Amino acid sequence: MGLNNLNIMGNLGRDPERVNTSGDLIVARFSVAVTEKKEDEATWFKCVAFGKKAEYILSSCQKGTQVFIEGPHRSQEYNDKKSWVLHVNRIIALNNKKERHFDSKER
């Protein structure tokens, strides 16, 4: 038995995108930039959320919103128009929340 779970906290790189599905399921796609020590260097994560989690992200988050995302990592491989093999890595958002940090003046 293994464990496949990532926890990231970062900022949305753009507004979340609503994905249309054939059923009633709501899907949101979004990307999160995680910066560590240097502000100009970020690691980007593609994320996807379903159902109520997708509704929450679509209604309350936009580009720049700081979020905490928890969920399993999924990898997908496909061929593009030029027959190049491309790899897409995503986090399936099982738990998410909007983060708010206070500076010392607000406490």
Give the separation between CA 59 and CA 14, rounded to whole angstroms.
14
Please indicate, yes or no, whether the overall pTM of this predicted structure exceeds 0.85. Answer: no
- pLDDT tens-digit profile of 69-87? 998 888 888 888 888 887 7
CA distance 67 to 38: 19
Residue type, 92: I
Nearest to 96 by CA among 73, 60, 67: 67
Residue 30 CB neighbours (<10 A): 26
Cα–Cα distance between 67 and 50 in angstroms, integer?
16
pLDDT tens digits for 10-36?
A: 999 999 999 988 888 999 999 999 988
